[in-house]
């Protein structure tokens, strides 16, 4: 949609135009806005945890931009301009972005892809899951679009990294990780 102006006048389907759909003879029939704000006091609770030396990692089913915005609202991400993928979008190399990044927002699809690539690695091999250990080593971490099994995978990775882990959640999707 970012480049819709480039193809808004196109009247015939052109397979070379990514994301094209007809943009003519349309009528706006309505507009809906939704807002699901964080619970009151979450930002203060996160700050108290931070002052107590507790690292808060957010694991959610929301889309990455939504997750990042909420994480910023509740003080989980304090410097959104220093988020890894944001730095890459600004033109930094992955290596430079990693060095400069203070936060990272990981999409569940990337987690699934990396995890699937390690299926043939023995569970006792210290290299298995290293990518996840590196991600959680960043000061501010958010996982977005995650599944219940991925939440459990993240909890297990935190425990293997030596963290004492507590999990909160408000739905059945959180129960495997809470257990």
Give yes or no for residue 3 having a pLDDT over 90: no
Residue 34 is predicted with a pLDDT of 86
Distance from C-alpha of 146 to C-alpha of 108, rounded to nearest angstrom: 5
Place of tokens 């297990």: 156
Give yes or no for residue 162 having a pLDDT over 80: yes
> Could you tell me the pTM of the whole model?
0.78
Give yes or no for residue 7 having a pLDDT over 70: no
Residue 54 is predicted with a pLDDT of 94
Distance from C-alpha of 125 to C-alpha of 47, rounded to nearest angstrom: 36
Contact assessment for residue 55 and residue 62, using Cβ atoms and an 8 Å cutoff: no
Residue 34: both structure tokens together? 């939704």
What domains are defined for the chain?
A: 42-178 (3.40.50.1000)
Q: How many CB atoms lie within 10 A of CB 63?
A: 12
Give yes or no for residue 122 having a pLDDT over 80: yes
Distance from C-alpha of 85 to C-alpha of 137, rounded to nearest angstrom: 16
Give yes or no for residue 89 having a pLDDT over 90: yes
Considering only residues 16 and 132, tell me which one the structure prediction assigns the higher pLDDT. 132
6: pLDDT confidence band, cut at 50, 70 and 90? low
Residue 115: both structure tokens together? 């995890």
pLDDT tens column, 131-152: 999 999 999 999 999 998 899 8
């Amino acid at each position: 949609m970012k480049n819709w102006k480039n193809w808004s006048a196109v009247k015939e389907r052109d397979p070379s135009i990514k994301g094209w759909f007809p943009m003519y003879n349309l009528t706006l029939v309505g507009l809906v806005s939704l807002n699901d704000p964080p619970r009151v006091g979450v930002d203060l609770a996160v700050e108290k945890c931070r002052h107590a030396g507790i690292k808060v990692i957010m694991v959610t089913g929301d889309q990455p931009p939504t997750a990042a915005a909420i994480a910023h609202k509740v003080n989980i991400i304090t410097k959104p301009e220093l988020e890894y993928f944001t730095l890459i979008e600004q033109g930094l190399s992955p290596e430079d972005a990693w060095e400069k990044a203070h936060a990272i927002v990981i999409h569940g699809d990337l987690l699934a892809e990396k995890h699937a690539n390690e299926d043939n690695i023995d569970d006792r091999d210290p290299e298995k899951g290293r990518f996840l250990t590196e991600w959680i080593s960043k000061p501010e971490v958010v996982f977005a679009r995650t599944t219940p099994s991925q939440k459990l995978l993240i909890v297990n990775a935190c425990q293997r990294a030596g963290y004492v882990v507590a999990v909160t959640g408000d739905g059945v999707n959180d129960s495997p990780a809470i257990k």
